[in-house]
A and B are shown apart, each in its own frame.
Chain A
Amino acid sequence: MELDFSGVPTVWPALLRGALVTLQLTVAVLLIATPIGCVLALLRNARSAPVRGILMTLSWIFRGIPPLLILFFAFFALPLIGLKLNPLPSAIVAMSSYMAFYFAEAFTAGLNSVPAGQWQAARALGLSPTRTLIRVILPQTIPAALPPYISHATEILKGTALAAAVAVPELASAAKRVFVVTYRPLEILIVAAAIYAVLDAILLILQMAGERWAARRRRGGRT
Chain B
Amino acid sequence: MNPARLIEYWPQLWEGLLVTLQISAATLILATPVALLIAILREARVPVVNALLIVAVNAVRLLPAVIVLFFVFYGGPQLGLSLSPMAAAIIGLSVMGAAYMSEDIRAGLSAVDRGQYQAARALGLSPARIFCRIIIPQAIPLIVPPYMTRAIIMVKGSSLASMVAVGELTAAASRASSITYDPFTFILFAGALYLIISGALVLFQAWAERHLRRRYRLTPGGR
Contacts and interface: CB of A to CB of B under 8 A. Distances in A.
Given A172-B67, A186-B78, A189-B70, A69 B62 contact: no
Contacts, number: 113
Interface centre among B64, B74, B157 (most CB of A within 10 A): B64
B163 A165 contact: yes
A58 to B, nearest CB: 12
Interface of A is mostly: helix
B176 to A, nearest CB: 10
B64 A158 contact: yes
B64 A186 contact: no
Interface string B172-208: 0110011001011001101100110011000000000
B183 A80 contact: yes
Nearest to B183: A76
B94 interface: no
Contact of B187 (A77, A158, A159): A77
Interface in A50-74: 60-61, 64-69, 72-73
Contacts of A161: 64-67
Contact of A1 (B80, B157, B173): B80
Contacts of B190: 69
A65 B74 contact: no
Given A162-B160, A196-B67, A69 B170 contact: yes
Interface in B44-69: 59, 62-67
A180 to B, nearest CB: 8
10 tightest CB-CB pairs across the interface, nearest first?
Answer: A161-B64, A76-B183, A66-B159, A161-B66, A185-B74, A66-B156, A158-B64, A186-B75, A72-B174, A65-B191
Nearest to A67: B156
Interface of B is mostly: helix
20 contacts: A65-B156, A66-B156, A66-B194, A68-B170, A69-B187, A69-B190, A72-B170, A72-B174, A72-B177, A73-B183, A73-B188, A76-B183, A161-B65, A161-B66, A176-B74, A185-B77, A186-B71, A189-B67, A189-B75, A193-B67
Chain B contact residues (Cβ within 8 angstroms of A): what range? 35 or more
A172 B184 contact: no
Nearest to A65: B191
Contacts of B159: 66-69
B22 interface: no
B122 interface: no
Contacts of B184: 77, 80
B187 A172 contact: no
A175 B184 CA distance: 32
